[in-house]
């Protein structure tokens, strides 16, 4: 029986991946590089500074500090103005009687800001939110999920992880917890194949929150 759910944050509870993609696309295009929003899918699950490092090398951007500062300013501005919950997320969380947690590769401050923006903060108090700045190693290492489980005395076989990226799925699998892939976020455009989530170890992949109760009962 499933009693606990640990959600990834970006792309699972909030539709933020496309906002970040928009930020990078806008900035790179202004620099004269051809970088479309859909190109960002390859970086799903990575932290922003990791993406900045990869793109700096790929496009030979010398001033990485300025690149980082500019991107983070754009991301923050768009994030706080345009962030919305993933379709179905708010209703699911509101109606759930399970123990709910967040395990994210984002920083805790940003997660709490996002929760407040989409009015999910009353369902996820600060002590239910776990982020990469609370552990030694981010996803795909299992540290975030292991800490969530340990701190709250959760049983692995009673816990389910919801992820939208192969990086996150691998972290959940490494923590010895069943992982369901969710492709309800805007970054899962039609051409993108969800096989990457299965290949990473997801036991199932669903495209909306309405299907989640069935698998909670199944497991």
Whole-structure pTM value: 0.86
For residue 174, what is the DSSP state? H
CB 173 within 8 A of CB 149: no
Q: Give the tens place of pLDDT for each residue, 31-56.
A: 888 888 777 777 776 777 788 888 88
**CB burial class (10 A; 0-12, 13-18, 19+) of residue 100?**
middle
Residue 153 in tokens: 């005395």
Confidence tier at 191 by pLDDT (50, 70, 90): low
- Does domain 4-15+84-218 fall under CATH 3.40.50.1580? My reply is no
Domain spans in the chain, listed from the N-terminal domain onward: 4-15+84-218, 17-82
pLDDT above 70 covers a percentage of the chain that reads 98
CB 164 within 8 A of CB 188: yes
φ, ψ for residue 34, nearest 5 deg: -85, 100
Q: Give the tens place of pLDDT for each residue, 51-106.
A: 888 888 888 888 888 888 888 888 788 888 889 999 999 999 999 999 999 999 98
Between residues 17 and 58, which one has the greater pLDDT?
Answer: 58
Q: Which helix or strand (DSSP H or E) is residue 150 part of?
A: helix 143-151
Residue 147: C-alpha distances to residues 36, 60, 99, 113 (Å): 36, 38, 15, 22
Confidence tier at 183 by pLDDT (50, 70, 90): very high
Let me know how long the chain is.
Answer: 219
């Amino acid at each position: 029986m499933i009693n606990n759910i640990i959600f990834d944050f970006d792309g699972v509870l909030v539709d933020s991946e496309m906002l970040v993609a928009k930020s990078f696309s806008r900035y790179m295009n202004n620099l004269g590089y051809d970088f479309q929003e859909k190109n960002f899918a390859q970086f799903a699950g990575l932290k922003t500074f990791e993406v900045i490092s990869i793109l700096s090398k790929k496009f030979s951007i010398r001033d990485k500090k300025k690149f980082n500062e500019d991107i983070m300013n754009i991301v923050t501005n768009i994030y706080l103005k345009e962030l919305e919950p993933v379709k179905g997320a708010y209703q699911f969380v509101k109606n759930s009687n399970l123990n709910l947690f967040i395990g994210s590769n984002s920083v805790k401050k940003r997660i709490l800001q996002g929760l407040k923006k989409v009015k999910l903060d009353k369902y996820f108090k600060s002590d239910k939110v776990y982020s990469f700045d609370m552990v030694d190693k981010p996803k795909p290492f299992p540290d975030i999920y292991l800490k969530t489980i340990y701190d709250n005395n959760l049983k692995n076989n009673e816990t389910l992880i919801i992820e939208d990226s192969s990086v996150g799925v691998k972290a959940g699998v490494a923590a010895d917890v069943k992982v369901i892939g969710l492709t309800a976020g805007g970054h899962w455009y039609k051409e993108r194949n969800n096989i990457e989530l299965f290949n990473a170890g997801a036991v199932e992949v669903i495209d909306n929150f309405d299907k989640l109760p069935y698998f909670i009962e199944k497991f």
